[in-house]
Structure 1
């Protein structure tokens, strides 16, 4: 692939992110909009650097300036709202439509995993076969990237009684997390039905389908198999609360 084709591909990705940012902005989903603006701007800056045509450069600079101003405005708005809101009254609901794309764990969870988080508890009854364990592993990878002070994770799930595959897979995840300074505790429950993620900074996230919100691709060589930004989703609802607003046991600090 030539340089021109690569640049065109980057520009297409930038436009996709920025289009999504505008949609989220219009829907008042400002946190997610900021993330998309930032990702789109980063790609558009790459396009600007690789462009030789002065007229195109001028157009890109104008677009970058426009989107950057809006992103900064939203960042300040979100910061002010977080400073003023009462966590006990906070409730955000995200509706994920069937077959929609663009819903990654990073977009859903990363804004809640900051330096104040040291423990995370995941309740999901179906972290059993390999695809579901891989989903949990992807969530753990996000925690490693975003949570510098996380020291403990607890998974509560249902037991797979068909062989030892589930326990072996989760043991391997735990060994890998240990290399990053995180202890994984796994408990099995035969009565668990809820799907919930709790952070010990107070945030609680309920997902109708749990971590298993993605549809399988046609095969391992289909678009979306590696990049979950492009993976089609099942229909589900994500509810976000602060612990002061729900009756759940706190994660011990």
Structure 2
């Protein structure tokens, strides 16, 4: 079945595009994420063209088409806002007071090899956000104050908990904080083995799962996540649910090279930080 245009894909999700103008910011984030998820789901399993970005990174035609569809929703709803897209870069007025961050397909390598662990991320900088799972149909969203999961038309408030004892650790390069911090070393720490069970999802869907109580924590190396198209939506969800969000040094996010530790509660965060400090 051919790829649908921006307008048609949006229409499928929520009727005509001009109806987006009446949505609040959380509604726009949800509508955009769902429209992008529809494209990702529709194109799944095809032999897709890869667009190489260098250093082993690439996008697929699904990333590009999903982003076009998401941008169509945002433009229809908030024409004066700027947008930073993973594939298309900065768009909109340079002096715009508001900026949307869009990662149309987080987990591209998973997707390209037929793995369904992916996410569609849409966030207003320091505001509403949504993370859509294209294959479960779940949409995790926040208005910046509270966070919810929508599935089959029903909304359930997100409630983080460490009960699963599952900690998702991102092992994908680059590793800017090595050798001081290596995520793989955390997995060998005796305390980690005793208390937690590792998971490697390789998509920021794992952040939404921390907010929803499906993961106890998430750990990754990396740079400045404040305005990241990959992480902004998931971090917004976690903050709205009261998760502890810091860099790998335990400090607030802000300076490049700090990485990210998100935990369902303070005890889990402190346990992970003590292991990270020990290994560092």
Same fold (TM over 0.5): no
Q: Which has the larger radius of gyration?
A: 1
TM-score under structure 2 length normalisation: 0.26
TM-score of the aligned structures, taking structure 1 as reference length: 0.28
